[in-house]
Chains A and B, each alone.
Chain A
C-alpha cells in the first residue's frame, strides 16, 4: 500500500464513522451543526496525528502487556493539552466545543489507530494514517452536522434560510441516528457502484 492510498483510505474505504462505525459518541453528540462537527473533527485529527506519532516512536520501548494503559495516558495527555490551549487562546471555539473535547479520550478511533496501526508501522506511515483517518472523521462529522443543521434548524453554517424552526427531531439524539443511518446507506450504495 503506498502512502497516497494510506492517506485516502480514511475518507471512503475505511471511513471511521461510515464504515468502521467507531467513535460514535462524539459523532452523535456534537453534530447538531456543521461547524461543530468540523471543529470536533479537526481537534480529533490533531490528537490522532500526535498520538500516532508518539506511539510509533516508542512502540519498541513499551512491553506488550502494558501497551494499552501507556497509549491511554499518551492520548489523554494530548487531549488535555488541546483543551488547555484552546481555553487559553481560542475561548470562543472552546465555548462551542468545550463539552466534547474530553470525549476525544474515549473516542475509540484514537486508541484503535494507535493499537491497530501506529504500534506496527513506522513514523511516517503512522502520521499519514492519523492525518487521513482524522480528516475522514472530520469529513463525516461535517457531513452529518450539515444534514442535521439543514433539516433541524433550516440553516447551513449558522445562516438561516427558512423562517422559524426546522424538523426538531434532527437536532435531538434520535435524529442523529436516523441521519447517520441514511448516510451510511448512501455511502454503501456509492461504494458498490464504483
Chain B
C-alpha cells in the first residue's frame, strides 16, 4: 500500500479520524472504569476510618468549610450502640513539599488523637513519604496525645513533634493538617454545647407558657 500524500484534505481527515477514535475509546474506558474507581476511593476512605477509630457500628457524615481554608473537611462521627466513640476527620494541608496532603485523623470524644492515616500525598519518595504508616512508624508519635498539651509543631519551631529526618517541611505539613482538624473539632464541640442551653431555654419557655395558660 502506498503512503498517503500529505495534502491538506488528507492531513485534516487523518487527524480528525485519529482524534475521534482516541476520544471514543477513552470515553468508553472512562465509563467502564468510573464505578470501580469510585468504589476503590470509597473503600480507601472506609479503611482509613476504621484504622483511625476504635470499633464502631454506625457513622454519620457531614462536611465543614473551615475558616480561611480552600476546601471542606469531612467529619465522620462514629457511634457504637448509640454512644459516641470518636470522630474521624478527613483533613488536608497545602503546606506539603509538593502539593496538597490529605490525612484522616481520628479523635476520641475528648479530642485526644486516637490514630492517623495518610490518604493522599505527593511528598518525596524515601523522605517525606515516611509520614505514611506503610513506610515508617513516624506518625505513631501522635497517637494518644491531646493537642491542648501536645504542641503540634516540630521541635525546631518549639513544638513537641520530632520531625522526619531530612523532611521537616513534610512533618510541618502533617502537623498543620492535624491542627486544622483539631481546631475545627473544638469549634464544632463548642457550637454543639452552645446550642444545648438554647434548646433547654425553649423547653422552659414552653413550660412557662403552659403554666401561664393553666393560670
Task: Give A contacts to B, CB under 8 Å.
Answer: 30, 32-33, 36, 60-66, 69-70, 73-74, 76-77, 80-81, 84-85, 87-89, 91, 99, 152-153, 165, 168, 171-172
Contacts and interface: CB of A to CB of B under 8 A. Distances in A.
A62 B16 CA distance: 11
A86 to B, nearest CB: 9
B22 A88 contact: no
Interface stretch (B25-33, B101-109, B137-145, B174-182): B25-33
Given A84-B37, A165-B165, A73 B126 contact: no
Contact of A64 (B2, B3, B43): B3
B125 A36 contact: yes
Given A66-B15, A77-B26, A153-B126, 11 more contacts: A61-B14, A62-B4, A64-B3, A65-B11, A69-B15, A76-B22, A81-B25, A84-B30, A88-B40, A91-B43, A168-B127
B122 interface: yes
B37 A87 contact: yes
A64 B40 contact: no
Contact of A88 (B6, B36, B44, B124): B36
Contacts of B72: none
Residue with the greatest number of chain B CB neighbours at <10 A, chosen from A62, A87, A171: A62
18 contacts: A30-B125, A32-B126, A62-B14, A63-B6, A63-B10, A64-B3, A66-B15, A69-B15, A70-B18, A74-B22, A80-B29, A84-B33, A85-B33, A87-B37, A89-B33, A91-B44, A152-B126, A165-B165
